[in-house]
Chain A
Amino acid sequence: MNFNLLKEHQMLIKLYEEFTEKEVKPWAEEIDETETFPVNTLEKLKRYGFMGIPFPKKYGGAGGDILSYILAVETLSKACATTGVVVSAHTSLCGAPIFEFGSEEQKLKYLVPLASGEKLGAFALTEANAGTDAAAQQTVAVKDGDNYIINGSKIFITNAGIADIYVIMAMTDKSQGTRGISAFIVEADTPGFTIGKKEAKMGIRGSSTCELIFENCIIPKENLIGKEGKGFSIAMKTLDGGRIGIAAQALGIAQGALDETVNYVKERRQFGKPLSYFQNTQFQLAEMKTKIEAARMLVYKAAYLKESNLPYANEAAMAKLYASETAMEVTTKAVQLHGGYGYTREYPVERMMRDAKITEIYEGTSEVQKMVIAANLLK
Chain B
Amino acid sequence: MNKGVWVFIEQREGEVQKVSLELLGKGRQLADQLSTKLTALLMGENVAQAAQELIYRGADEVIVVEDSLLNVYITEPYTKVMSCLIEERRPEIILIGATAIGRDLAPRVSARVHTGLTADCTSLEIEDETQNLLMTRPAFGGNIMATIICPDFRPQMSTVRPGVMVELDIDTTRKGEIINIKPSLVKEDINVEILEIVKEKKQKVKIEEANVLISGGRGLGKIDGFEILNQLASELGGMVSGSRAVVDAGWIDRDYQVGQTGKTVRPNLYFACGISGAIQHVAGMEESELIIAINKNTEAPIFEVADVGIVGDVHKVIPALIEELKSLKK
A129 touches B278 (CB 8 A): yes
Jot down 11 A-B pairs with beta carbons below 8 A, ordered by A.
A128-B276, A128-B278, A128-B279, A129-B279, A138-B276, A140-B299, A174-B299, A196-B245, A197-B244, A211-B248, A213-B245
**Given the complex of chains A and B, what is the CA–CA distance between A215 and B218 in angstroms?**
10
Q: Mark A203-218, 1 if CB is under 8 A from B, else 0.
A: 0000000010101000
Indicate whether A82 reaches chain B with its CB closer than 8 angstroms.
no
Q: Pick the contact of B299: A128, A138, A211 (CB < 8 A).
A: A138
In the assembled complex, how far is the CB of residue B145 from the closest CB belonging to chain A, in whole angstroms? 47
* Chain B residues within CB distance 8 Å of chain A: 218, 244-245, 248, 276, 278-280, 297, 299, 301
The count of residues in chain A whose C-beta lies closer than 8 Å to any C-beta of chain B is 12
A128 touches B248 (CB 8 A): no
B279 touches A196 (CB 8 A): no
Indicate whether A276 reaches chain B with its CB closer than 8 angstroms.
no
A197 touches B248 (CB 8 A): yes
In the assembled complex, how far is the CB of residue B159 from the closest CB belonging to chain A, in whole angstroms? 49
A-chain residues with CB within 8 Å of residue B301 when the two chains form the complex = 129, 138
Q: For residue A127, which residue of chain B has the nearest CB?
A: B278
B279 touches A213 (CB 8 A): no
A213 touches B218 (CB 8 A): yes
B-chain residues with CB within 8 Å of residue A197 when the two chains form the complex = 244, 248
Main secondary structure, interface of A, reads strand
18 more A-B contacts (CB under 8 A) besides A138-B301, A197-B248, A213-B218?
A128-B276, A128-B278, A128-B279, A128-B280, A129-B278, A129-B279, A129-B301, A138-B276, A138-B299, A140-B299, A151-B297, A153-B276, A174-B299, A196-B245, A196-B248, A197-B244, A213-B245, A215-B218
**A 194-248 contacts with B by CB, 8 A:** 196-197, 211, 213, 215
Which of A128, A151, A197, A211 gathers most chain B CB within 10 Å?
A128
**Given the complex of chains A and B, what is the CA–CA distance between A138 and B297 in angstroms?**
11
Q: For residue A196, which residue of chain B has the nearest CB?
A: B248
In the assembled complex, how far is the CB of residue A24 from the closest CB belonging to chain B, in whole angstroms? 31
**Given the complex of chains A and B, what is the CA–CA distance between A61 and B203 in angstroms?**
64
**Given the complex of chains A and B, what is the CA–CA distance between A129 and B301 in angstroms?**
9
In the assembled complex, how far is the CB of residue B301 from the closest CB belonging to chain A, in whole angstroms? 6
In the assembled complex, how far is the CB of residue B81 from the closest CB belonging to chain A, in whole angstroms? 61
B-chain residues with CB within 8 Å of residue A138 when the two chains form the complex = 276, 299, 301
**Given the complex of chains A and B, what is the CA–CA distance between A138 and B299 in angstroms?**
8
**Given the complex of chains A and B, what is the CA–CA distance between A196 and B299 in angstroms?**
22
